[in-house]
């Protein structure tokens, strides 16, 4: 038995916040943000919760199919609606499913890769035929909009994939890990995306940048080695969308050409656990990747956590 990604979906809010809008809010400029991050705009959820966005992403991934057959809902999020019930349980209820396993995991920006790893393991061990992994974030609720070093970076959105048992092996390998000694470089003390945040996101950007490039590169190299796949065989690199300089540095170290890198950071900013599934869905729908292609996904996030995964679509 193999596990394959059979469909993808994503959702982003309608409100667009551009760099020019931010110029009116904090001391910054479009040129400064673009040069240092590659971000031009991001989406902001106004009257939508994390679970609202997650539900819409799942509906798109299901493509009209009933959610009744889904046996697992796993949501990766650092900005849940509330501490409990889990965002996954809320999504399950929204979709009128009453039988599936449903729970959240928190691994910050690496959450979706962690989620795939956990879902893959559960589906194999428990003979689950159909599962959904979601990455969903409402980071706009935990940002200090007077802090120009962080508020320019993040946005809101959700992405999802449907996993099914298959005679073909779709998920080929993982490399995941964490090093909690870096925890003070990027953190939020408490959060509930439905409530006014008692604490904001804090980040030491320069230190995070250095560790991110090294860690993502090393993780990607390890998963390539584990699977026996060369970088030249990869059809598309779908990295966590945090900073275009990080993405360029990682791709260069891996020897992956620019035309094999999917980037939508300029339109959405860093959507944390949602960034890879949103990017994967767009790559599929734009025809950048197709059935049979090898896709390398790699992420890095607060914790520090890291993870990479190779899938054959």
Given 19, 151, 240, 243, which residue is catalytic?
240
Does the annotation count 109 as an active-site position?
A: yes
Q: With the C-alpha atoms ordered 268, 192, 80, 46, is the resulting torsion angle positive or negative?
A: negative
d(CA 14, CA 144) in angstroms, rounded, equals 21
Active-site choice (109, 151, 243, 309): 109
In 77-108, which positions are buried (b, 16+ CB within 10 angstroms) versus exposed (e)? bbbbbbeebbbbbbbbebbebeebbbbbbbbb
CB burial of residue 223 (10 Å; 0-12, 13-18, 19+): buried
- Whether 309 sits among the annotated catalytic residues: the reply is no
Tell me the catalytic residues.
109, 240, 270
């Amino acid at each position: 038995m193999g596990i394959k990604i059979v469909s993808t979906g994503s959702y982003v809010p309608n409100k667009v916040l551009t760099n020019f809008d931010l110029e009116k809010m904090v001391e910054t400029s479009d040129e400064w943000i673009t040069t240092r991050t590659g971000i031009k705009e991001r989406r902001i959820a106004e009257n939508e919760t994390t679970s609202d966005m997650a539900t819409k992403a799942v509906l798109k991934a299901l493509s009209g199919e009933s959610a009744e057959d889904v046996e697992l809902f796993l949501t990766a999020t650092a900005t849940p609606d509330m501490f409990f019930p889990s965002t996954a349980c809320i999504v399950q209820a929204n979709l009128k499913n009453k039988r599936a396993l449903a729970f959240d995991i928190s691994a910050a920006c690496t959450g979706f890769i962690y989620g795939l790893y956990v879902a893959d393991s559960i589906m194999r061990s428990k003979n689950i035929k159909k599962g959904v992994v979601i990455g969903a974030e409402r980071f706009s609720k935990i940002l200090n909009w007077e802090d120009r070093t962080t508020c320019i970076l993040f946005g809101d959105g959700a992405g999802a994939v449907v996993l099914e048992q298959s005679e073909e092996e779709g998920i080929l390998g993982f490399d995941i890990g964490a090093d909690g000694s870096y925890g003070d470089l990027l953190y939020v003390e408490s959060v509930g995306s439905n409530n006014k945040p008692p604490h904001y996101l804090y980040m030491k950007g320069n230190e995070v940048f250095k560790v991110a490039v090294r860690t993502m590169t090393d993780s990607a190299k390890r998963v390539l080695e584990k699977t026996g796949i060369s970088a030249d065989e990869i059809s598309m690199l779908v990295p966590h969308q945090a900073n275009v300089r990080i993405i360029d540095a990682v791709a260069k170290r891996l020897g992956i050409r620019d035309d094999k890198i999917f980037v939508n950071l300029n339109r959405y900013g860093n959507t944390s656990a949602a960034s890879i599934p949103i990017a994967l869905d767009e790559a599929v729908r734009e025809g950048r990747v197709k059935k049979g292609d090898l896709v390398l996904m790699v992420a890095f996030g607060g914790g520090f956590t890291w993870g990479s995964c190779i899938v054959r679509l």
